[in-house]
Amino acid sequence: MEIDLRQCVLGLAVLGLVVLFALIGRGVTPIEADTPVVLTPARWTALTLSRQARGEIGRLEADGQALRALLATEPVDAVQAMLLAQRIYAGYRQGTTATASARQALIAAAAAVARYAGGALTRQEAIEAVNAALQRIQALRGQAVSESHGASGLGIRAHRATDC
């Protein structure tokens, strides 16, 4: 009885692939109530949309923080504010329906910061617009908005007539 080395290696390679696929399948199979669930097309679509929404929320948070940081500088660079507003507007014209309200609030906040940098709005109005956008984004994330930053929520103090 002669054992062919190539057949033995091929058999071990096939066995290794089966074990690899089993481990991958076990790791990615959705589980509900300690029972593996068959991944139907509807579930796949829901998981895909959920993943897209989570990614979009992360980008919304990053852009909201960029607006916050820009508004925290004094004086706000009008060119930088306009470029950021244009990037935000172009990036969020489309997206998942789950994030529509936060996207619109962020676009409005970016426009408010750009208008403030150009002198058309007060600092307080720009701060309120950014706060409203950040609150909507936080609501999507499921976290309570911290009130520890004071009334503005940004830690940014609004200009008063006596500050000049």
Q: pTM higher than 0.75 for the full model?
A: no
Residue type, 90: A
pLDDT at 160 over 60: no
pLDDT digits (tens, 9 = 90+) for 74-102: 888 999 999 999 999 998 888 888 899 99
Q: Which residue is it, tokens 């992360």?
A: 58
Specify the DSSP element, H or E, that contains 60: helix 41-72
pLDDT at 8 over 70: yes
Q: Which of 13-22, 114-123, 147-156 has the lowest mean pLDDT?
A: 147-156
Q: C-alpha angle 82/84/88, rounded to 5°?
A: 115
- What integer pLDDT is reported at residue 95 of this predicted model? 85
Q: What is the mean pLDDT of the chain?
A: 83
pLDDT at 158 over 60: no
Q: For the chain, what are the domain ranges? A: 54-163
Q: Which residues of 93-123 are buried (b: 16+ CB within 10 A; e: fewer)?
A: eebbebbeebbebbbebbbbbbbbbeeebeb
pLDDT digits (tens, 9 = 90+) for 10-48: 899 999 999 999 998 888 787 778 888 887 889 888 888
